[in-house]
């Protein structure tokens, strides 16, 4: 198969590219490096089945060029972060909605078989129901959430009007190797891990009881692969929670990270945690139902939070102590 991964130099995209290459497929990576990193694809950039196209999904012609001869598109390109979207809703809208529309248009015009796209658990908005069930959402509470919900609507419309196969994956707090730990919009797991390794007290926004369904990268890769290959007609045009199906509060999260890191450096167990104010646009709790994905895609998460964290902490420790550029410098991812 020949796949296009938009945002293929990002955290999730690069892991997906690597997995597809490992399984013998041809991979086209399209990235403008606004948040993607060359270091993420360095280990396989010379692979004969890998093609890098430096381009932006906001350019329709670039999207069409990248899709030449492609069977399936994995649409991972987006500007993440609720905080960033509140600070700059215009750019978030341009990338996440206008860019996504270009991807759909190009896929339709180049006769791509299927688009598997990154949706978001932020679509559940102000709904307090737990667990989160795909057909029951609230109103979005951030510009980022609005953009990801609009993407789902556009995918539905293209399926309805043009017969384009689409499947959306609502990601729940993905973590794992290659997730960039520096910068203003860094996710909590890489941020806490790096702070603890430096013996810097991590800061939890709120009292630490906020909870999330933290989802290891290998579970996300599995869901993308299942969505791309499924022949179940009931799955086409659907949106699926992509998660572990377990809820962890931030206090517990920090303690687990400290426990794993302490096996490398016992002093880390004595680093204290600090608490700050809640962040604007954050939801209190999140937990996914994965029943629909199990039923229609045969999804079974390969990793729990703890098994994923153990591998993640090991990767950060080894990468940091090998002096890798993966963790150096400033970046917006």
330 SS3 class:
coil
Strands 211-212 and 248-249: antiparallel
Instruction: Give the side-chain half-sphere CA count within 13 A for 319.
Output: 22
State how far Cα 25 lies from the chain centre. Answer: 21
Q: Of these residues, 3, 144, 154, 260, which one is catalytic?
A: 144
Of 277, 209, 7, 273, nearest to 116 by C-alpha is 7
Burial class (CB in 10 A: 0-12, 13-18, 19+), 281: middle
Instruction: Please indicate whether residue 144 is annotated as part of the active site.
Output: yes
Of 308, 327, 329, 330, nearest to 317 by C-alpha is 327
DSSP letter for each residue of 68-106: TT-SEEEE------HHHHHH-HHHHHIIIIIIHHHHHHH
State how far Cα 266 lies from the chain centre. Answer: 32
As annotated, the active-site residues are 144
């Amino acid at each position: 198969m020949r796949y296009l991964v938009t945002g293929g130099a990002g955290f999730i995209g690069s892991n997906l590219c690597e997995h597809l290459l490992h399984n013998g497929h041809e991979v086209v990576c399209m990235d403008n490096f606004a948040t993607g990193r060359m270091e993420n694809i360095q280990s396989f950039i010379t692979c004969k089945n890998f093609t890098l196209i430096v381009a932006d999904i906001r350019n329709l012609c670039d999207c069409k060029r990248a899709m030449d001869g492609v069977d399936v598109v994995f649409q991972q390109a987006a500007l993440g972060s609720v905080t960033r979207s509140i600070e700059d809703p215009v750019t978030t809208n341009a990338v996440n909605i206008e860019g996504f529309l270009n991807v759909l248009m190009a896929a339709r015009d180049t006769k791509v078989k299927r688009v598997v796209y990154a949706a978001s658990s932020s679509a559940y908005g102000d709904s307090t129901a737990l667990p989160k069930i795909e057909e029951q959402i609230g109103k979005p509470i951030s510009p980022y959430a609005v953009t990801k919900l609009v993407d789902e609507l556009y995918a539905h419309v293209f399926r309805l009007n043009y017969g384009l196969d689409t499947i959306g994956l609502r990601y729940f707090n993905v973590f794992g190797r290659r997730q960039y730990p520096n910068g203003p919009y860094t996710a909590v797991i890489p941020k806490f891990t790096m702070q603890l390794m430096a013996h810097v007290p991590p800061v939890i926004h709120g009292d630490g009881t906020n909870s999330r369904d933290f989802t290891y990268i290998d579970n996300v890769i599995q869901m993308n692969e299942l969505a791309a290959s499924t022949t179940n007609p009931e799955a086409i045009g659907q949106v699926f929670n992509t998660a572990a199906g377990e809820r962890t509060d931030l206090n517990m999260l920090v303690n687990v990270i400290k426990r794993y890191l302490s096996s490398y450096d016992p002093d880390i167990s004595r680093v204290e945690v600090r608490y700050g104010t809640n962040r604007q646009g954050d939801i209190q709790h999140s937990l996914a139902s994965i029943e629909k994905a199990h039923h229609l895609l045969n999804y079974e998460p390969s990793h729990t939070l703890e098994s994923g964290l153990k591998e993640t902490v090991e990767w950060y420790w080894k990468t940091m102590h090998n002096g890798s550029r993966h963790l150096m410098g400033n970046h917006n991812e």
